[in-house]
Amino acid sequence: MLKRVFLSLLVLIGLLLLTVLGLDRWMSWKTAPYIYDELQDLPYRQVGVVLGTAKYYRTGVINQYYRYRIQGAINAYNSGKVIIYY
């Protein structure tokens, strides 16, 4: 009985893990056409949105995600690819 419960729990955890990994891969595949690595490939847009993150870690060190997001927004704005940011 205990072996059966353990095996069922193991299968359930495996299916859950497979579902999470599958959704991650599917989301990456579906959003790949909208991710730009080069500024010249970025299409012109009237409005840009910078997604938020913490500016600093708890230790007081600047968050690199924040730094790169802000730098990317500045580059897009200065190149004329985006007019307004929110």
Question: Tokens for 52?
Answer: 């938020």
Find out whether 42 and 13 touch, Cβ atoms under 8 Å. no
- pTM summary value: 0.69
Residues 44 and 86 occupy one common structural domain = yes
* pLDDT value for 53: 92
Give the domain extent around 64.
39-86
Give 10-residue mean pLDDT values along the chain (86 residues): 94 98 98 93 92 94 95 94 84
Cα 81 to Cα 74: distance, rounded to the nearest angstrom = 10
Residues 47 and 78 occupy one common structural domain = yes
Contacts of 67 (CB under 8 A, 6+ apart): none
Residues 62 and 30 occupy one common structural domain = no
Q: Domains in the chain: how many in total?
A: 2
* pLDDT value for 1: 87
